[in-house]
Structure 1
Amino acid sequence: MTMGIPVYKRILDLFEAEGVNTLFGIPDPNFVHMFTEADARGWSVVAPHHELSAGFMAEAASRMTGNPGLCIGTLGPGVANIAGAMMCALVENSPVIFLGGQRARITERRVRRGRIQFVQQEGLFAPSVKYSSSIEYADQTDEIVHEAIRRAMSGTPGPAYIEFPSHVILDELNVGEAPEPSTYRLLNQGAGAREVAEAVELIRQAERPILLVGHGVHTSRTQEQVRELAELMACPVIQTSGGTSFIPGLEDRTFPYLFSPAANEAVEQSDLCVALGTELGEPMHYGRTQHWAGNDANRKWVYVEQDPTAIGVNRSFDVPLVGDLRGVVPQLVEALRDTTRAPSANLETLVDADAAELARVAEEAPSGRTPVHPARFVVEATKAFNDYAQDGILVRDGGATVIFQWTYSQAKPRDVIWNQNFGHLGTGLPYAVGASVAEGRTRPVMLLTSDSAFLFHIAELETAARENVPLVCVVGVDHQWGLEVGVYKRTFEQPSPQPGVHWSKDVRMDKIAEGFGCHGEYVEKEDEIGPAIQRAYASGRTAVVHVCIDPKANSEEMPKYDRFRTWYAEGTQ
């Protein structure tokens, strides 16, 4: 037994047992002890300029490690500030644990008015998390933290909220070593042997199988196991809109659904879909409509899902495999090792078609314009990132800018992070910081975004610089909400004056960056983009490349926008 360990130290012990060693938040009297102790233990302790940013940083750290994220909000205004990150983590299926400070419970039960920094917090946030509780007594610490982690990591992952009232901050416990996670929650849960055998038989019989890879593959960090499965299946790999990272070794045969003709052809021709780490939601047309519809009667489905209540909701499956990807995918790999499959009949054709399409869009992206066409902006920025792509982390943010990236990106990095399900603009800069810190600040990071999204949390440039994050922010600047301007233009015959979507054309992102101690570059022509990015990385500092892009093209020429709109149109049916 460890005698007299304070509650705040015990909380850190419990998270360390889960492999957590990063802490995001702004210290206050509730948490100064915890911040000091975490720093003394060698944790990465990151204090941004806004708690909402801290929440996004913690989410990105969770995505990059497969472990729970940890974010702290001070009582009252601090906890209020992280509310948006809670909701985002819930919709993005991210297991982030939010610790909220609170005044001593005696304060809550007083019949008084005009109390400072006080509101009954837990009830406000309970609907936004999978689990909500409060450490009322010191000896509840283990069970409440374990329950928060258990709920966050089980079934469909998601956030949890733990309140930490000031009356228990320095209370002491007599406890043993922090237990291993396997003693209080399921780890790497596998599927039943019968179901695995049925799935393997479908894979062996299929002539044109596809492997559908979603967001969960990357957040569970099962890329290597999935690569083995794809090679044994000898089939195309289809990305969901949330799972846009590229697994090393599978880059040439990986195609993004809906925005890649090769992906859509592979889906239409497939006789088996093995779906991993995806909810088959609106962006995937529930696996039933659009490109899935034509051959639906003849296509078999194997679906790996950790949450049994999700089985059969959006569509039916021939073989559902209930379990953790970290347990189930190795089962499939092992069962297929003695199987020699010829490559899918259309695999070589699809690989060639996708390579030709990638080259075609790079060639046909409008060139020679000043300001730069947003399609050419994406082509040149991602080409420049190719020098770092295998080891780099690409972070996406923005509205129209992300839509252009789906079609025109020339890079295939193994980690791509963006806010697909919630569509929360402004996450890009905090995501970039959190992902880099979680990875030990060793891999180059590029944030490809627009000015509208970048301005949300631009103060975190100082955080990135202070944390020595190897980050280059490439910002397409058109001084407007490009997506919303497009909505005005499509809604009204005479859309002027378009209230609320334009701002000063005097804003210079590179100068703002320099004011935060970062490296800045200003670009007006497309042939300047690549060299500016190279100089930015060579500077050894966090950097911002301001690229002037064409506002008319950014609002009117978004590629395949009609396809994007089907995410919403079919979701209302």
Structure 2
Amino acid sequence: MSVKVYERILDLFEAEGINTLFGIPDPNFVHLFHAAEERGWNVVAPHHEESAGFMAEAVSRMTGKAAVCIGTLGPGLANLAGAIMCAKVENSPVIFLGGQRARITEQRVRRGRIQFVQQMALVENSVKYHASIEYAEQTDEIIRQGLRTALSGTPGPVYIEYPQHVIQEELDVPAVLPPERYRLVGQTAGTDRIAEAAELIRSAKQPVLLVGHGVHTSRAGDSVRELAELMACPVVQTSGGTSYIEGLEDRTFPYGFSPSAIEAVVESDLCLAIGTELGEPVHFGRGRHWVANEANRKWLYIEQDASAIGVNRPIDVPLVGDLRAVVPQLVDALRDTPRTATPELARWIEEDAARLADLAETAPSGGSPVHPARLIVEATKDFPSDGIMVRDGGATTIFGWTYSQAKPHDVMWNQNFGHLGTGLPYAVGAGVADGGKRPMMLITGDSSFQFHIAELETAARLNLPLVCVVAVDYAWGLEVGVYKRTFGHGSLETGVHWSTETRFDKIADGFGCYGEYVEKDVDIAPAIKRAYASGKPGVIHVAVDPKANSEEMPSYDEFRTWYAEGQQ
């Protein structure tokens, strides 16, 4: 069949189940955008290319598939650079497409070229693969190699560009291939390794499941739930794996921030790690809470990238493969020999529930402005488990780790890279992937919220069921705390304070959203309820106590152990 290059690109993505793209169209892409919309794709043009990249990353996390983001040549690609790097560190398989001037422009010895820069060099260290479609006939091989690379091993972004003269060339090509015809899909682990792992699980006295970010981005919750039930063990969340698997909410404890999690780790004689890099936030699986009982603990590790095995700690039984295929293998191996839960599991569940209830009861209340711990309690106490929770900010997120009362099945935040400002774009992308069906909440600090505040218009245009709860102290709260700890109270705090005249509720109103100003904790939950009832995206401006926000961050000493340079 005869097709244009841009049509073929869409065909190749559709074969992978991709039907959403983000970006701001320019002359290189108007034909592709138009064709995508005619095909029924979700085509979303935000207000900044970096936002587009974050939105695409959110779609990938919500669907378990690759996602697509487009950047206009020159400045558009420059704007995308932060999102590309973020996708790399967050292990997100995003296909970034970039336009480019015709190659004759690049090869001429000229000065003063308009909207031109050599883009490949700009992004090559931030992607797993980069290529240019120099000839129309390369379209299939390059797009497929991009998808193959993005989804193989440790997932990550790729960058593909095509010069302006290529996009509308004609191709005579056969029908597109399904994914399994050109890349490895559903890689399983060897049956000998599965048998060995199952035997260790059966013989363990206190096993734990260590669940990371990858379990949720691969959408593998159902099979992991079956495995946890057969193992009759606690689920310990990494800081990146903070979504709750349906049916496992009660037995899921955050590593380092829950005494139940710490005790379960310390007493464990077997750890099965799934969807995690075993990185700094879990002390590489060998420091801090893991030191006790290390000699008696066996390690099983499900990992798609064989080169990751043994890097951060020795592994007794590596299970190399796609966790979506390997976890069902383990489930099948254990189905006829389910374990019986130990008495400790029931106690840990009871103690963790009591911990959350106590936090809700003891979070400082009644003050104005609001204590940030109380903000988290009031904002999350009625949030449904089927909702989508998005986090952003420094101090605000640290308070959220400890005080959140919600256990949603989808929690989205930027954990590995720590890139602020991702919250609102993540929320928009998640809402697009979800089709706007489920309620969404973004809890963010004021400084982070301003990075991409223009995307409130995008949320309003898409009519997303989103409420943004903004903790406002008119400062970089985490950094204010650093100043105080470094130089003492009363020291000069340079560059971390800004105008107290900013009103986010009024900004929301200007974007066509619902806005409300709150300065008492008892008003937070009713304001959120009114925002959802308005039928518009909402922004709740909550005035928070700047002293508490910078000085009373809970579990801060635990958080700092992630950065123990050279000590782990």
SS at match of 1:457: coil
Counterpart residue identity of residue 213, structure 1: V
* Per-residue Cα deviation, 1:397-421 (whole angstroms, up to 9, x for no partner): 0000010011000000000000000
Counterpart residue identity of residue 413, structure 2: W
| CA spacing shift, 1:303–1:184, aligned 2, 3 Å | same
Alignment equivalent of 2:261, drawn from 236, 260, 263 = 263
SS at match of 2:57: helix
CA distance in 2, matches of 1:142, 1:442: 35
* Per-residue Cα deviation, 1:343-396 (whole angstroms, up to 9, x for no partner): 1341001000100000111111111110000000000000132xxx22100000
Counterpart residue identity of residue 296, structure 1: E
Residue 167 of structure 2 aligns with which residue? 169
Alignment equivalent of 1:73, drawn from 67, 71, 74 = 71
Residue 113 of structure 1 aligns with which residue? 111
How far has the Cα of 1:496 moved from its partner?
Answer: 3.1
| CA spacing shift, 1:406–1:494, aligned 2, 3 Å | closer
Residue 499 of structure 2 aligns with which residue? 504
Residue 313 of structure 1 aligns with which residue? 311
1:459 matched to 2:433? The reply is no
Residue 370 of structure 1 aligns with which residue? 368
Residue 361 of structure 1 aligns with which residue? 359
1:390 matched to 2:381? The reply is no
Gaps of 5+ in 1: none
Alignment equivalent of 1:490, drawn from 485, 490, 494 = 485
**Runs ≥4 residues deviating over 4 A:** 570-573
User: Do 1:476 and 1:549's aligned partners in 2 also have CA atoms closer than 8 Å?
Assistant: yes
SS at match of 1:564: helix
Counterpart residue identity of residue 561, structure 1: Y
Instruction: Give percent identity, aligned residues only.
Output: 72
Alignment equivalent of 1:104, drawn from 98, 102, 105 = 102
1:449 matched to 2:444? The reply is yes
Residue 556 of structure 1 aligns with which residue? 551
SS at match of 1:197: helix
What TM-score, normalized to structure 2? 0.99
How far has the Cα of 1:87 moved from its partner?
Answer: 0.5
CA distance in 1, matches of 2:409, 2:57: 18
Residue 197 of structure 1 aligns with which residue? 195
SS at match of 2:382: helix
Gaps of 5+ in 2: none
**How many positions carry a matched residue from both structures?**
568
Residue 519 of structure 1 aligns with which residue? 514
Counterparts of 1:243-254 in structure 2, within 5 Å, are: 243-254=241-252
SS at match of 2:175: coil
**Worse-superposed segment, 197-206 or 486-495:** 486-495
CA distance in 1, matches of 2:255, 2:33: 43
CA distance in 2, matches of 1:410, 1:239: 16
CA distance in 1, matches of 2:375, 2:308: 40
SS at match of 2:250: helix
| CA spacing shift, 1:571–1:403, aligned 2, 3 Å | farther
Counterpart residue identity of residue 83, structure 1: A
* Per-residue Cα deviation, 1:193-247 (whole angstroms, up to 9, x for no partner): 0000000001100111111110000000100010000011011000000000000
CA distance in 2, matches of 1:277, 1:129: 20
Residue 332 of structure 2 aligns with which residue? 334
Residue 542 of structure 1 aligns with which residue? 537
SS at match of 2:192: helix
Counterpart residue identity of residue 264, structure 1: I
How far has the Cα of 1:441 moved from its partner?
Answer: 1.3
Residue 381 of structure 1 aligns with which residue? 379
**Worse-superposed segment, 482-491 or 345-354:** 345-354
Counterpart residue identity of residue 375, structure 1: A
CA distance in 2, matches of 1:284, 1:451: 29
Counterpart residue identity of residue 553, structure 1: A
Counterpart residue identity of residue 354, structure 2: A
SS at match of 1:456: coil
Counterparts of 1:158-307 in structure 2, within 5 Å, are: 158-307=156-305
Counterparts of 1:20-99 in structure 2, within 5 Å, are: 20-99=18-97
Counterparts of 1:392-407 in structure 2, within 5 Å, are: 392-407=387-402
How far has the Cα of 1:570 moved from its partner?
Answer: 4.5
* Per-residue Cα deviation, 1:424-462 (whole angstroms, up to 9, x for no partner): 000000000001101111111100111011000000000
User: Do 1:285 and 1:570's aligned partners in 2 also have CA atoms closer than 8 Å?
Assistant: no
How far has the Cα of 1:494 moved from its partner?
Answer: 5.1
CA distance in 1, matches of 2:492, 2:404: 33
Residue 410 of structure 2 aligns with which residue? 415
How far has the Cα of 1:493 moved from its partner?
Answer: 2.7
Counterpart residue identity of residue 249, structure 1: G
Residue 348 of structure 2 aligns with which residue? 350
User: Do 1:488 and 1:495's aligned partners in 2 also have CA atoms closer than 8 Å?
Assistant: no
Counterpart residue identity of residue 79, structure 1: L
CA distance in 2, matches of 1:493, 1:279: 37
1:566 matched to 2:561? The reply is yes
| CA spacing shift, 1:131–1:568, aligned 2, 3 Å | same
CA distance in 2, matches of 1:221, 1:340: 24
User: Do 1:480 and 1:501's aligned partners in 2 also have CA atoms closer than 8 Å?
Assistant: yes
CA distance in 1, matches of 2:338, 2:266: 25
User: Do 1:207 and 1:345's aligned partners in 2 also have CA atoms closer than 8 Å?
Assistant: no
CA distance in 1, matches of 2:249, 2:183: 35
Counterpart residue identity of residue 395, structure 1: V
What TM-score, normalized to structure 1? 0.98
Counterpart residue identity of residue 485, structure 1: V
CA distance in 1, matches of 2:148, 2:117: 27
CA distance in 1, matches of 2:163, 2:565: 45
CA distance in 2, matches of 1:251, 1:571: 35
CA distance in 1, matches of 2:484, 2:518: 28
**Worse-superposed segment, 321-330 or 344-353:** 344-353
CA distance in 1, matches of 2:110, 2:306: 47
Residue 152 of structure 1 aligns with which residue? 150
* Per-residue Cα deviation, 1:6-26 (whole angstroms, up to 9, x for no partner): 000100110011111110000
CA distance in 2, matches of 1:517, 1:299: 56
Counterpart residue identity of residue 294, structure 2: D
How far has the Cα of 1:54 moved from its partner?
Answer: 0.2
CA distance in 2, matches of 1:344, 1:540: 47
* Per-residue Cα deviation, 1:46-77 (whole angstroms, up to 9, x for no partner): 00000000000000000000110100000000
